[in-house]
Amino acid sequence: MAIAQRDDTVLAEGLASWAEALDPARGRARTSSVGRPSAGWSNETVLATVEWDDRSDDVVVRLPPVVASFPGDTLRTESIVLDALSRARLPVPRPIALEPDLRWLGAPFLVMTRVSGRPVGAAPSRDPWLVEAPPQRQRFVQEQFLATLAMVHRLDWRAAGLSQHLRGADGALATEVDWWSSYVDWAADGSPARRLVDHVRWCREHVPATEPPASLCWGDARLGNVMYDDGGALVALIDWELASIGPAEMDLAWYLALEELTDRYARASVPGFMAHDDAVAHFEAALGRRVRDLEWHEVFALVRSVAINDRQARLAAVSGIAYPGVAGDDNPVLGWVDGKVEQYEQTERST
């Protein structure tokens, strides 16, 4: 459920008028349906069908949320990244247009093709479609995800022109930590949770000395952002507004840390999924190199996740909307981060 949503009738009428103006030779356009996915806070996402006399197009329209979850022009980021990935023939929605003119929908918006399929639920171990599948299909779902993620990381992002548009092109991991430090302050309107600030400081003080090659990073690499067909074949990677340039370890750690966290709270796991170290080995084989300092990256991933959760929980509280997260120092995930930090420091002392 989103914090606030625009009126569906206004969106339908504006989208039809925009489609007519985009291609007036096709004649009058109409929007026959407007729907919304069940999840998503970072942008307002609309599923629509635009019809003409001779054709209909199923599209996804993304607008900035009424209240921002992230600073900056995330629609532009997503459009640029999707265009680069589409040209590289990676499985993503194809961007149709990034429209800056406010007269159509009252806000800028991104229109992209709609891919038929379904994502895995936010907690994979609680998704009936996945957990009721045979173990071989479960394993297939995970293997495809890891292999396709490695394909993203092998993309020549400089040749694709992404260095001009994404943060992190300087290749310094400390720069990314600094960005998230600023985000924590921005997201809390200048009053961030003390424990979260402490964890960001810890990440900065323990940035790995040796950095791997820089890659295009998805920023939200998880099964909830992957579309699968009914047979379990991967058909699209979605939601690229957090894309940046950085080590592939950032995405892998995000996936692994959040999977471990959701399994812990769901008190269940997906039987056919690989164990942590086996998943890492599978990813390394697809990437073509060993990953480095993964334990630090898992701490950093959890800190980033808490920062986003904190922002959304604050917005939900102000709007009177139920949200499965807690803002401030009482967020229980911060205790999980404490444990990961302690484990990391024990390992460092022993070596």
8-113: CATH topology is Phosphorylase Kinase; domain 1 (3.30.200)
When pLDDT is averaged across residues 158-186 and rounded to a whole number, the result is 94
pLDDT over 80 at 343, yes or no: yes
pLDDT over 80 at 39, yes or no: no
The pLDDT of residue 123 is 92
When pLDDT is averaged across residues 295-307 and rounded to a whole number, the result is 97
The pLDDT of residue 309 is 92
State the span(s) of the chain assigned CATH 3.30.200.20. Answer: 8-113
CATH 3.40.1280.10 fits 118-350, yes or no: no
When pLDDT is averaged across residues 10-16 and rounded to a whole number, the result is 95
The model's pTM: 0.94
When pLDDT is averaged across residues 148-170 and rounded to a whole number, the result is 96
State the span(s) of the chain assigned CATH 3.90.1200.10. Answer: 118-350
The pLDDT of residue 40 is 59
When pLDDT is averaged across residues 126-147 and rounded to a whole number, the result is 97
Q: How does residue 38 score in pLDDT terms, banded at 50, 70 and 90?
A: low
The pLDDT of residue 33 is 86
Q: How does residue 326 score in pLDDT terms, banded at 50, 70 and 90?
A: confident
Which residues does residue 98 pair with via DSSP β-bridges, in sequence order?
A: 110
Q: How does residue 2 score in pLDDT terms, banded at 50, 70 and 90?
A: very low
